[in-house]
Structure 1
């Protein structure tokens, strides 16, 4: 038997996802299934309302990772669910130019050819980056399609395309004109390898072993026997830029020295002793050096005391001309060694002590970050907005806090809002300039005398210069904007802003942002700030925050660890050797590469099987417990691939038994079994709706799995087989109707999570269910989502089938205890209410493999195991070899006693109890309880035999 889809494609015997996925994505695309502005007519209360999700744009730095697969599953699940509920859905795809990250990728490619970007020049280098963007961006789009994302590709954006760039320039100009963007010489985080400023969020504080150097600073005028002050520092090289030493104003040891001077060692500059309560009385010697140009805390002290700022480092972290000549040109760490040696030679090194310290390192280069005094552009985070803006008198930070506190923006899970508050309440002005070539070049021009003209283009800059009486050539600022500046504008620039377009009016704000907790500060907060300031609206109503995808051992996935998984490799499968090559290529450390190769061969001796996109999506959805990190285990993927096979095979069986029969009628006769599965189906639909509405994708996935596998396939289909064999023609028609109707509903319910297989199966099932004609091109993607009709819940049928299932499960348990082959039919003794069993006899006999049921007043005392249920007692009517069964039970008793002794041995071991995690101890206690309960049961069986 074969059936036909809309293009006469046969219903394959086996589920083969690769060809099926390629076929259906192409079909969806060609029929415009994902275009905005169209929606299904449904009875859902959501029908006709806009529903918008925007991609967190992946960086064009390579390929997608497992976190993207998880993110796409959640977003696409929500979009498909709302599309089928009649919403006008807009799923906006895009990618980010990722300034620093992308420039690093291309520079490394050039390094391999012994070429630097400076050899090429800015224009030629940017051509190389655009070439890389085209390659990487195409790869990313292909991967997103493979995951089944139902994005409206006609709306795809790139953060440096024409529309987005126009929005970036307009934003910069407006904020500058409003006094909220300014240029100033400020201390910033400086990455000497990248040669650019980086934000606080791009700096990792790493605890490392270091030293605390105690250095003698000679007093200019000794006080009694006191010849010098001992200053403690973790960075002796920066002493070359010291402008003061400070003590706590209440420190009795040094009060009398405040206002006096010391001579700066090696430099011989006279610097004052100042008092400031920033000094920790208990740390080191209580005397601290002040270097405002190379320490953020010292910078604040310098501002308070109006101290000079002496920068002694060049931008590549070498000692510059402001230091003594013998150190000029030395790398900062080479200078440290030389300075320490010189201090020791001059008798000015008091001591060196081991010291744990937090070292700031760049998250990309891992180099030590330097606080550096440079000219940069900043957004004022705490300055009130001027009149004429949407929120006059309030800073952009205040508005971003307010809209979350008043519920205009909600976090799921809610606890992430506290993290959001804590960061914004401590926020500093945002340094938005980067000393890179790749990115949005800052729209500011400098005159020959240093005046600044911020404009939307060069012509406008010259007009402004002319109006100010400035003539001559203007030079454009070479710096580019922080990547997150343009990303912060995505919610509205993608809708046409700064123009007020129909899209902007209809699709702002979006409904939900799906993102990881690690970019709440980088991206989420900044989108809210910019959107509230520039549009007066929140950018989205809900922030769904998910955890990280970790490996099976709970380790963060990273290239350097060699534990990454490519989503496409899970969809298509990959052989061992290509997998090893993929994980080790590009690693500079041969020892590390060898370890990764060994681990990969051990973990994946046969490579990775093909699981298909649906199984991967189902796995991701099942992992989506709110806010938790997820340990990714391929066994889960395998389990959901098996689920897809189960659904496929069940559909084939049902169609073989339904096709060619009359199943649609106005007078369907339903059995109790039919009423039961319909009742369970309605509860199932309600549970899935609840899961989607609460962003509990784990609930959605588990509900689909449980209902489809356990209730529909394992129970209803098996019971239906009996009805099709023994029922009247009317009952058979009712069963066929129920089989196909419930299956059609299942496919619609599961479609947002597993879109490919459900689309394929629905095309076959929908013809029989009367949902489409065989020659129509109608897509499941655009069908109405089932609504729960809880008035169809039949509690009497549910109670009845519960008794039936309990009876069959009890018989199966008895067969299992007696090790009776599934193919062997046996008789049973039964005590209980006959009426509760009689109308179930065909099902009990078929599913319990029973040939005869013998009703008795009392179960015979023959030593066979029995089951006591609420409505009956059961015992198998089989001949028992007393000697063999006694031997078997004694052997089992001995095994269980051994397991109990072993577990108790651990629990009675003080060393184990003290060191083992609480979960492991609890596990051992549970083992004792389970084994003891089983032992009692086996001993009871043995006593009956005797």
Structure 2
């Protein structure tokens, strides 16, 4: 894709003087967007010009802001989108938002309450318009935040779950399911949210362990001396006894056999209720007798249906008591629990009370205890849909990554209950069912006229997850067979957290398989790619936790605001930190220091490119002839090829963390820490000898290698850190190198074996330089100070030519100068290399305080001798040697070996220092 004349850059930018994320990120994103790099073209797919790659963004709530979970999700999707664009695929990353029924309605109702109004005061039509007005003015702030993170979504295709097109899709599939009997209306026990005043589905309920109470109550007459007419039941919810319509016992429980078929008095209410026999009752639990409240417990509801019991609802929509005819009417359920128990205690009917820890369902949206409640609602019959969703994964039509997460999917999809889809809200997709004056019921599809006068539409709306379940194909124009659907559906991959595997992924699978059931065996023609499943792969990542692995929550005060970190450290730093921790299917921790470290990594890369460009690095067309390369150049190009292959392979396997980690270590440890240092040798040599043709050629080759390596590195890193890589790449490649990394080609692995000789040479350099630097540091020699050096002893296994190159590199990297007239070896460094042992002599007498070094060496020697003596004492103790564990003995042996080496090293060092000051200075060096 190329930029239009209106949006293309005029000329190539210069490299900024310093790395400043705040200055580069927003303008860079605006340039990408204006150039049209994010746009997808389905015609390129349908014509066969390009392979498709498509992702639909999990639609964030219209009320939401970018939180750290979003940031992780979006980063991983953007990594894939950018990588596939660079790999030559036609990429559609489709954005949008969810109308978020409960959350949005609650927000607007709070706004109304603050000015003394309510939705009831406005009426349905005005209230819904009020929500639309809020959405237009304030909703969707997260979309701008997505741009700040760098999301390369196709903004021209942005959708909203209440768009006209998506509403038509909802009506279409509702009517299809309704006409086939897969949507039905029934009276069932549902999860009721007293705060939201609406039904909830099972997956919107979190079961939380709480310390409650188990209270045993006596039902029966007030006066029952022998207890023969009474029965004791145990309950965790005393207040629901006001709605009891029976007591149930196991038919084989002899303790209560005499009461089966009889009635007992329900206290307070004064109603006679039957004792029924039901095999559901566990005779080993409590007293073996349970109270039956069919309208407020799912198990009791089933007992009630089996025994044709009355079902009495004792709660209003806000869970206050109503309709019992007692003084408790109007009380909140928790207040009623206390008051009812107190009344029963006064009547002498409380037999026992104890603390009871048990799981209580809480609304995942409002965090309140839900109320099981008998209600007439709309349901989806999920059995056939879930079976198809299960089989599609087992058959391999959709793969779950990592594979071990498939067990969670099957656990849920193979055990689903019918889905409650109606919500007692005004904001959302209204259920398209109308009721006639004579009890008629009609479901109206899209484009169909509602029935005439006297008909009323169902007041409820659909669960938000109903429309979200259609998201992969409704956003592409379904039920119309659009070019977008033909080109990009099924989508390539779904990236999401494992925590919404049940909420969303399963529903999309069910609806996708149902909507495209006629094409379940795949494409019907080469031009029709529409298949059954909504996505080929589901990539599940974990949750983001704080640096200590704790779940983030406002109560803990450990919630991370990624936008604050983006402003402080840049989007690249936040993205790279998240990607580097994103191991498949597992939770990850995050801390501000780690984001700061990623910013430092970006700065390191920035400085590397500045160094390269400042030294004339160029990006050439085509590959360099390896025969012309020095060992360091061959080594870095070998390591680069391995990094290209590993990064590509890991991205193909969705191993984001390993890919990011590999790039980090290649760039920091190998490229910056070693190759850039090694490149200084030919560059400095050429600068010192401008007339030396050989030196100039070597420097030119190094500049080409340096430019080529950085070009490739920036391409590899771009999907993870798009802003800094774009800022560096465009000046590096020059005006003819390309207009944007977004549309640059992904590096290909050159199929060429690595050069072991080059690797061995660099290993030798690293060992030699590391040991010399360590020795300098041990003697407190400033890193910037040049030290005279002579007496370099070549290993037997290295040729004179190889040793000369090695020595030149080591001298440059360790700031060792030639031996001068007054040179005396004060320090000898011995280093094992691939060809044998090398020794290097240094004269540090002019750069260190000899007397101070002698005093320090004596102190260190004393400590080493003490450690050696202690280790020898233990090893000579037969009692210790016989009784100690093998690992403890080995630990002492290791200490002995190290102490012996330290004594030898320090003794030799004192001898060297003594030689600098005469015999007296070095005498007595064997003790502190």
Distance in 2 (alpha carbons) for counterparts of 1:347 and 1:485: 51
1:5-34, Cα deviation, whole Å (9 max, x unpaired): 744543221112222112211111111111
1:624: Cα distance to partner? 0.9
Distance in 1 (alpha carbons) for counterparts of 2:131 and 2:476: 26
1:930: Cα distance to partner? 9.4
1:67-121, Cα deviation, whole Å (9 max, x unpaired): 1111111000001001110111101111111111111222222333333222222
Which of 592, 597, 602 aligns to 1:644? It is: 602
1:804-859, Cα deviation, whole Å (9 max, x unpaired): 222222222222222222123242653523425223222111012222599xxxxx
Match of 2:377, SS state, is strand
Structure 1 residues 843 and 373: alpha-carbon distance in aligned structure 2, compared to 1, 3 A threshold: same
Q: Counterpart in 2 of 1:405?
A: 394
Q: Could you tell me whether the CA contact under 8 Å between 2:495 and 2:540 is conserved in 1?
A: yes
Structure 1 residues 661 and 184: alpha-carbon distance in aligned structure 2, compared to 1, 3 A threshold: closer
Match of 2:255, SS state, is coil
Match of 1:375, SS state, is strand
Which of 807, 815, 828 aligns to 1:841? It is: 807
Structure 1 residues 151 and 663: alpha-carbon distance in aligned structure 2, compared to 1, 3 A threshold: closer
- Please tell me whether residue 710 in structure 1 is matched to residue 669 in structure 2: yes
- Please tell me whether residue 766 in structure 1 is matched to residue 738 in structure 2: no
Distance in 1 (alpha carbons) for counterparts of 2:897 and 2:703: 44
Match of 1:51, SS state, is strand
Q: Could you tell me whether the CA contact under 8 Å between 1:221 and 1:261 is conserved in 2?
A: no
Structure 1 residues 423 and 887: alpha-carbon distance in aligned structure 2, compared to 1, 3 A threshold: same
Count matched residues.
Answer: 850
Match of 1:415, SS state, is helix
Match of 2:400, SS state, is strand
1:564: Cα distance to partner? 2.5
Q: Counterpart in 2 of 1:426?
A: 415
- Please tell me whether residue 794 in structure 1 is matched to residue 759 in structure 2: no
Q: Counterpart in 1 of 2:793?
A: 830
Match of 2:254, SS state, is coil
- Please tell me whether residue 679 in structure 1 is matched to residue 638 in structure 2: yes
Structure 1 residues 729 and 8: alpha-carbon distance in aligned structure 2, compared to 1, 3 A threshold: closer
| Equivalences for residues 501-900 of structure 1 within 5 A | 501-536=482-517, 537-572=532-567, 610-658=568-616, 669-726=628-685, 728-767=695-734, 771-772=737-738, 778-791=739-752, 793-824=754-785, 825-827=787-789, 829-830=792-793, 832-833=795-796, 834-835=798-799, 836-852=802-818, 866-870=830-834, 871-878=836-843, 884-885=852-853, 887-889=855-857, 891-892=859-860
Q: Could you tell me whether the CA contact under 8 Å between 1:436 and 1:479 is conserved in 2?
A: yes
1:664: Cα distance to partner? 8.7
1:927: Cα distance to partner? 11
Match of 1:11, SS state, is coil
1:211-260, Cα deviation, whole Å (9 max, x unpaired): 22211111799797624111111111111221211122333322343323
Q: Counterpart in 1 of 2:251?
A: 249
Distance in 2 (alpha carbons) for counterparts of 1:356 and 1:125: 42
Q: Could you tell me whether the CA contact under 8 Å between 1:90 and 1:152 is conserved in 2?
A: yes
Structure 1 residues 73 and 879: alpha-carbon distance in aligned structure 2, compared to 1, 3 A threshold: closer
Q: Could you tell me whether the CA contact under 8 Å between 1:81 and 1:785 is conserved in 2?
A: yes
Match of 1:182, SS state, is strand
Structure 1 residues 869 and 280: alpha-carbon distance in aligned structure 2, compared to 1, 3 A threshold: farther
Q: Could you tell me whether the CA contact under 8 Å between 1:313 and 1:320 is conserved in 2?
A: yes
Structure 1 residues 862 and 212: alpha-carbon distance in aligned structure 2, compared to 1, 3 A threshold: same
Match of 1:805, SS state, is helix
Q: Which range moved further: 193-202 or 493-502?
A: 193-202
Which of 401, 406, 409 aligns to 1:417? It is: 406
Distance in 1 (alpha carbons) for counterparts of 2:147 and 2:244: 58
Structure 1 residues 360 and 720: alpha-carbon distance in aligned structure 2, compared to 1, 3 A threshold: same
1:879: Cα distance to partner? 5.6
Distance in 1 (alpha carbons) for counterparts of 2:401 and 2:260: 54
Q: Counterpart in 2 of 1:481?
A: 462
Distance in 2 (alpha carbons) for counterparts of 1:782 and 1:343: 76
Q: Counterpart in 2 of 1:369?
A: 370
Q: Counterpart in 1 of 2:883?
A: none
Q: Counterpart in 2 of 1:11?
A: 15
Structure 1 residues 710 and 661: alpha-carbon distance in aligned structure 2, compared to 1, 3 A threshold: closer
1:431-462, Cα deviation, whole Å (9 max, x unpaired): 00000111111111111233221102695332
Structure 1 residues 729 and 298: alpha-carbon distance in aligned structure 2, compared to 1, 3 A threshold: same
1:276: Cα distance to partner? 2.4
| Equivalences for residues 207-246 of structure 1 within 5 A | 207-218=209-220, 226-246=228-248
Q: Counterpart in 2 of 1:353?
A: 354
Instruction: Structure 2: state its 5+ residue gaps.
Output: 1-7, 518-531, 686-693, 870-886, 911-925
Q: Counterpart in 2 of 1:130?
A: 132
Q: Counterpart in 1 of 2:903?
A: 939
1:510-548, Cα deviation, whole Å (9 max, x unpaired): 111111111111100000000001113111111111111
Q: Counterpart in 1 of 2:424?
A: 435
Structure 1 residues 869 and 896: alpha-carbon distance in aligned structure 2, compared to 1, 3 A threshold: same
- Please tell me whether residue 32 in structure 1 is matched to residue 59 in structure 2: no
Q: Which range moved further: 220-229 or 549-558?
A: 220-229
1:757: Cα distance to partner? 1.4
| Equivalences for residues 55-454 of structure 1 within 5 A | 55-218=57-220, 226-321=228-323, 323-382=324-383, 395-454=384-443
1:279: Cα distance to partner? 2.1
Distance in 2 (alpha carbons) for counterparts of 1:692 and 1:488: 27
Q: Could you tell me whether the CA contact under 8 Å between 1:548 and 1:629 is conserved in 2?
A: yes
**TM-score, normalised relative to structure 2:** 0.86
Q: Which range moved further: 205-214 or 662-671?
A: 662-671
Q: Counterpart in 1 of 2:923?
A: none
Q: Could you tell me whether the CA contact under 8 Å between 2:14 and 2:731 is conserved in 1?
A: no
Q: Counterpart in 2 of 1:493?
A: 474
1:556-596, Cα deviation, whole Å (9 max, x unpaired): 22344433232222121xxxxxxxxxxxxxxxxxxxxxxxx
Distance in 2 (alpha carbons) for counterparts of 1:160 and 1:137: 13
1:714: Cα distance to partner? 1.9
Match of 2:261, SS state, is coil
Which of the two has higher C-alpha Rg?
Answer: 2
Cα RMSD for the two superposed structures? 3.2
